[in-house]
Chains A and B, each alone.
Chain A
Amino acid sequence: MSELASESDKHRSELASESDRHRRELLVIKGVRLYGEGDPVDMLVADGVIADVGTGLEGPEAVDAHGLVALPGFVDLHTHLREPGREDTETIETGSVAAALGGYTAVFAMANTDPVADNAVVVEHVWRRGREVGLVDVHPVGAVTAGLAGQRLAELGTMARSEAAVRIFSDDGHCVADPLLMRRALEYTRGLGAVVAQHAEEPRLTAGAQAHEGERAARLGLAGWPAAAEEAIVARDCLLAKQVDARLHVCHVSTAGTVDVLRWAKARGTKVSAEVTPHHLALTDERLTGYDPVNKVNPPLRTASDVQVLREALAEGVVDCVATDHAPHAEQDKNCEWSAARPGMLGLQTALSVVVDTMVRPGMLDWRGVARVMSERPAQIAGLVDQGRPLAIGEPATLVLVDPRDSWVVRGADLASIAGNTPFEGMRLPGVVRMTLLRGRVTARRSTTGGGGT
């Protein structure tokens, strides 16, 4: 595992020269199972698209993919790349490497940078840096309100019409708490073909909150973050979205109650979609004993019963997709007392493995389902036309090869992100991303990990 970061660096430099060659030359992926279904096939990649699928295909460069599963490249609706402003924790470049290694081919970079991505200049900068790095499609998320202050709308139309073509707006980190402002944002974005992604947290109910309001937090003396603070906003926003016939996306659903609200809202025809993070699928507030802020995140880790309901909701489709809420933080902002620590966790490189561990292994999701929740649905929600496409002849060769039998041990220091704040430190997780392709170009490649399997 220790070669991971350096390996990715090497790949990146190789890719700069290799990319054009690959665009014209042929790559054959041998013996892969599409969506983990049927017999192994060969896949011919040429000119950025899947040129052929069959058996006995040959090409100048062959990739042995026996035992691997091919899925459409993952799309993350919720990533913090920290550039501009906190380049000491992550940059668009390092975040792109992490994304590619995690199997992602598109990420949405949240607006809470410094300066805030609430204008065309910042979103275009993010967009352009992402293109220069070229490992993953970096789509900036625009702020809903100027400066994330929750007072007045940012220039949503200008950002939508900019070169970055912003289609998701979010004040993530802050809730658009004012109901009138939220209503206006929903209405306004409807006309732009965009969606508002709400960080659902009623601020009056979470003043000073440090942990899920429950027995664990009460014993630890940590101020509670009640589930109702999320559920109340989700319910309100679903009503507003229905009222003005707009689309709503709910960020990082964390409670069983929110799942109930979403189920109800969808049943009555509300255009609402929702995401769940890998950590809310895997971890509970039991982790808080010991006060290690690596477990501090917003919304907070909840209870085992919430986790179970979230897994079921994801399998069922009530929660549409997985989004990482990848949130790099500097060592000094995590290795401190709990209340002083910043909330957030790394997620890009561990997301697939957590989904395999929590959803695939227990039989709640098959590989077709993984493609749905990590690629197809997020692409649809974001309106990306060239991501989350079927693995079929003529489609973009934007895909990921996963080794379902191998496993790896997470080490924050070995991850490509500058920060190392993973809550999965030291854990052995199943499922390894072997290769990621973005429109036919190899953006990440990982040899066997020695953890078994191939």
Chain B
Amino acid sequence: MRHLLSTAGMSPAAAETLLDTAETLKKTLLGREVRKLPTLRGRTVVTLFHENSTRTRVSFEVAGKWMSADVINVSASGSSASKGESLRDTATTLSAAGADLVVVRHPASGAAHRLAGWLSSTNTAVVNAGDGTHEHPTQALLDAATLRERLGTIAGRRIAIVGDVLHSRVARSNAYLLSALGADVVLVAPPTLTPVGAATWAEPGAGGTVTVSHDLDAELPTVDAVMMLRVQAERVIGDVANFFPSVREYSAAYGLDGRRLGLLPEHAVVLHPGPMLRGMEIASTVADSPRAAINDQVRNGVHVRMAVLYHLLAGKDEGA
């Protein structure tokens, strides 16, 4: 593995290896007073964030530091990016300055792919920490790790991804990854927020399927997990976009409240990538219920990102 840019096209074997590594790392560090491994000593990881995301940046930073990498945080507002330097120049500068790996978050879809292209002649690896409305592969991996932990297996499970699928990189990465791992994914969204051809998202040869539904109540009784997506109200609701009439109507149709929690099977898990809008897409009682694995997701996020850093930085480059 040279970079981690997307879960689309990732083989189930590669995904399982990452998840296994994450699980091993989690067990290794469990109950330790000193959570520090020397594995990536002397390696430099730069987080390059052109969008604010405290939780993702901190998760990568902790992952790097627990493996003894030097982690340097660069945010667009506090760097030359705000002075108009291009992403390409920033990337090549970071590489020349010794970054072994760049974790990039950027509002433009495809930014991580471009970065990897610009750094193709260097040894610097690129991890996509969210590019526009395209992908967020480590989020999908940590969701998969959490589902595996809670449900035992992913293959054969039915998983609903609910909300603004159109603008969601989390939904895309999860649909590709979970269907590749054998889950049947159902995307639940109003037609205005359903991407064209979303029902074709399962990779050829995937063990699972991807389907589309507009009726949350109808799906809940048969799912093993429900993943609520964050709703950016300013982007989706109101007179500019008009994807949806109102917050109230959105919550009524696609919010996960106590009544809907009751529709879920006993064993079903509730996920949310955060940050949550309580009362909007998820009720407080649901978010705080034992069914919710939201804090597990955050914990697993660190181990999954450690696994990603390990796979990209430890081991001789075998030529992509």
Tell me which residues across on chain A come within 8 A of B172, comparing CB atoms: 219, 221
User: By the criterion CB–CB under 8 Å, are B196 and A220 in contact?
Assistant: no
Which of A213, A221, A332 sits near B133, CB closer than 8 Å? A221
B43 at interface, CB cutoff 8 A: no
Smallest CB–CB gap between B35 and chain A, Å? 35
B108 at interface, CB cutoff 8 A: yes
Which of B107, B113, B198 sits near A291, CB closer than 8 Å? B113
Render A190-220 as a binary contact track against B, CB cut-off 8 A, 1 for contact: 0000000000000000000010011101111
User: By the criterion CB–CB under 8 Å, are B108 and A338 in contact?
Assistant: yes
Tell me which residues across on chain B come within 8 A of A223, comparing CB atoms: 133
A117 at interface, CB cutoff 8 A: no
A340 at interface, CB cutoff 8 A: yes
Chain B stretch 144-198: residues in CB contact (< 8 A) with chain A = 169, 172, 195-198
Tell me which residues across on chain A come within 8 A of B79, comparing CB atoms: none
Tell me which residues across on chain B come within 8 A of A340, comparing CB atoms: 87, 108
Chain B stretch 65-102: residues in CB contact (< 8 A) with chain A = 86-88
B143 at interface, CB cutoff 8 A: no
Tell me which residues across on chain B come within 8 A of A336, comparing CB atoms: 86-88, 114
Tell me which residues across on chain B come within 8 A of A220, comparing CB atoms: 109-110, 134
A56 at interface, CB cutoff 8 A: no
Render B194-229 as a binary contact track against A, CB cut-off 8 A, 1 for contact: 011110110000000000000000000000000000
The number of A-B residue pairs with CB atoms under 8 Å apart is 66
A430 at interface, CB cutoff 8 A: no
Tell me which residues across on chain B come within 8 A of A337, comparing CB atoms: 87, 106, 108, 110-111, 114
A224 at interface, CB cutoff 8 A: yes
Which of A210, A214, A291, A339 sits near B197, CB closer than 8 Å? A214
B113 nearest in chain A by CB position: A291
B8 at interface, CB cutoff 8 A: yes
User: By the criterion CB–CB under 8 Å, are A335 and B109 in contact?
Assistant: no
User: By the criterion CB–CB under 8 Å, are B113 and A290 in contact?
Assistant: yes
Smallest CB–CB gap between A345 and chain B, Å? 18
User: By the criterion CB–CB under 8 Å, are B196 and A213 in contact?
Assistant: yes
B132 at interface, CB cutoff 8 A: yes
Complex CA gap A224/B193 in Å reads: 12
Which of A213, A214, A290, A291 sits near B109, CB closer than 8 Å? A291
Tell me which residues across on chain A come within 8 A of B201, comparing CB atoms: 219
Smallest CB–CB gap between B189 and chain A, Å? 12
Closest 7 CB pairs of A and B: A291-B110, A221-B134, A215-B197, A218-B195, A221-B133, A221-B109, A337-B108
Chain B residues engaging chain A, CB cutoff 8 angstroms: 8, 86-88, 106-111, 113-114, 117, 131-135, 169, 172, 195-198, 200-201
Extra A-B contacts (13), CB below 8 Å, given A221-B172, A291-B110, A336-B87: A210-B109, A218-B196, A219-B172, A219-B197, A219-B201, A220-B134, A221-B110, A222-B132, A222-B134, A291-B109, A337-B108, A337-B111, A340-B87
